[in-house]
């Protein structure tokens, strides 16, 4: 039984004060942009990535793992060099929004070197084949020379497989107790988000090896998938652990309007498609919708009536840039900016849009061990950017 995780230890020791990337004097000069809290600096760390989706920092300044939606796992070295594809990664169903998606390290990476990947898996003879797909999660051991994943195996599969290319969700978050949370889109099949015998539109909670904890809320209920932790989600493409509360937060795409932030809670129904602030892309109402708030469902923590197309999510708690402390940053695909949300206590009191001048879809954002934000742009020649405030 898991009791504690090593996340805090890793962050406090292996990462503390480590120079992650070459200094500005050694590399390209940062570009500067105005913001409410000072001048934002953006340095291009790497480019030429094929629709990069997620990133994870290796300890001891060994570099950054980056997934490409087309199926490759790459390594960006501490001096910004981009590796070839690491071998041993799974085959993926790379169609529409599907492909190789999230990447996170094991909380005990210093000892087990496990890398977790979320990806789209087809229903054909191989994982890359089939007419429909679902989200899968697997793990493999990063080799000592960081060129391959060894002994990769699947620990979780979304069932049934219903996606024809949409709404995979697929963010991975370890909590402080070491449980793995996986966000799952409803595969653009709206009613399934309310069906407890299906894993569409759900957040699931599992052990790192894929086993189901006995204290999950629906364990033992006939006709209910025991992995389910919460349900009624549409397409959660951003998720992060709140460092102040220890709770898992996610953001998810609404339809036309109604992107949301939700704080994941045990056994809660977050409403989709019964409760929504959005409408269909056709301009017509969502057929199943009963209003913006529906009895028996959990109201969102925060809503955008006009959808920015939310993606990756990062809480800022490093302290290097004091003005950003206790803020959360969210990438935006549609509005092509980085959203900064400011808190007072547990309330969002202000929003600022950053980097909109660059006109780049932002897929992921993570706080680096050096106190900078690291951002991936979603393009067939995507970039890894280092973002900070001018010091």
The alpha carbons of the chain give a radius of gyration, in whole angstroms, of 20
For residue 176, the surrounding DSSP H or E stretch is none
Q: Is residue 156 within 8 Å of 167, Cβ to Cβ? A: no
- Which residues does 345 contact at the CB level (< 8 Å), separation at least 6? none
Mean of pLDDT over the chain: 94
C-alpha to C-alpha distances, 353 to 42, 49, 329, 341, 379, nearest whole angstrom: 15, 24, 10, 9, 20
Q: Is residue 119 within 8 Å of 135, Cβ to Cβ? A: yes
Q: pLDDT tens digit string along 76-96?
A: 999 999 999 999 999 999 999
CATH topology of domain 7-389: Neuraminidase (2.120.10)
What's the longest Cα–Cα distance across the chain?
62
Q: pLDDT tens digit string along 284-316?
A: 999 999 999 999 999 999 999 999 999 999 999
DSSP state for residue 96 in the 8-state scheme = T
Q: pLDDT tens digit string along 35-48?
A: 999 999 999 999 99
Q: What is the pLDDT of residue 14?
A: 36
Q: What are phi and psi of 110, to 5 degrees?
A: -60, -25
For residue 111, the surrounding DSSP H or E stretch is helix 109-112
Residue 7 reports pLDDT greater than 70: no
Burial string for 115-144 (b: 16+ CB within 10 Å, else e) reads bbbbbbbbbeeebbebebbbbbbbbbbbee
Q: Is residue 194 within 8 Å of 130, Cβ to Cβ? A: no
Q: pLDDT tens digit string along 136-165?
A: 999 999 999 999 999 999 999 999 999 999
The full DSSP string for 99-110 is SEEEEEE-TTHH
Q: pLDDT tens digit string along 180-220?
A: 999 999 999 999 999 999 999 999 999 999 999 999 999 99
- Which residue do the tokens 């759900």 mark? 202
Q: Is residue 27 within 8 Å of 21, Cβ to Cβ? A: yes
Find the catalytic residue in 51, 167, 233, 277.
167
Q: Is the pTM of this model over 0.85?
A: yes
Q: pLDDT tens digit string along 94-118?
A: 999 999 999 999 999 999 999 999 9
167 is catalytic: yes
Where is mean pLDDT largest: 12-16, 251-255, 341-345?
251-255
Q: What is the pLDDT of residue 26?
A: 60
């Amino acid at each position: 039984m898991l009791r504690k995780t090593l996340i805090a230890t890793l962050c406090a020791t292996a990462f503390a004060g480590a120079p992650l990337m070459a200094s500005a004097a050694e590399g390209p000069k940062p570009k500067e942009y105005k913001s409410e809290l000072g001048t934002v600096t953006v340095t291009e760390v790497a480019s030429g990535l094929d629709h990069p989706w997620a990133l994870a920092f290796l300890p001891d300044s060994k570099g950054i793992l980056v997934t490409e939606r087309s199926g490759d796992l790459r390594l960006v070295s501490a001096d910004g060099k981009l590796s070839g594809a690491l071998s041993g990664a799974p085959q993926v169903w790379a169609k529409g929004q599907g492909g190789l998606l999230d990447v996170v390290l094991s909380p005990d990476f210093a000892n087990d070197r496990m890398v977790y990947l979320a990806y789209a898996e087809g229903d054909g003879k191989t994982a890359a084949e089939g007419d429909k797909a679902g989200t899968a999660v697997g793990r493999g051991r990063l080799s000592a020379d960081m060129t391959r994943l060894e002994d990769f195996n699947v620990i979780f599969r979304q069932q049934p497989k219903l996606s024809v290319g949409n709404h995979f969700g697929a963010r991975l978050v370890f909590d402080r107790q070491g449980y793995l949370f996986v966000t799952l889109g409803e595969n653009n099949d709206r009613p399934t988000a309310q069906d407890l015998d299906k894993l569409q539109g759900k957040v699931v909670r599992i052990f790192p090896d894929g086993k189901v904890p006995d204290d999950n809320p629906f364990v033992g209920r006939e006709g209910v998938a025991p992995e389910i932790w919460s349900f009624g989600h549409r397409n959660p493409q951003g998720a992060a652990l709140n460092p102040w509360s220890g709770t898992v937060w996610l953001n998810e795409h609404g339809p036309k309007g109604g992107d949301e932030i939700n704080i994941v809670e045990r056994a809660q129904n977050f409403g989709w498609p019964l409760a929504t602030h959005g409408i269909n892309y056709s301009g017509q109402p969502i057929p199943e919708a009963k209003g913006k708030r529906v009895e028996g469902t959990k109201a969102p923590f925060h809503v955008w009536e006009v959808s920015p197309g939310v993606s990756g999510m990062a809480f800022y708690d490093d302290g290097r840039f004091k003005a950003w402390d206790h803020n959360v940053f969210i990438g935006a695909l549609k509005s092509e900016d980085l959203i900064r949300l400011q808190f007072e206590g547990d309330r969002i009191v202000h929003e600022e849009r950053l980097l909109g001048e660059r006109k780049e879809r932002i897929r992921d954002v993570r706080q680096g061990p050096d106190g900078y934000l690291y951002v991936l742009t979603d393009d067939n020649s995507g970039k890894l950017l280092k973002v900070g405030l001018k010091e």
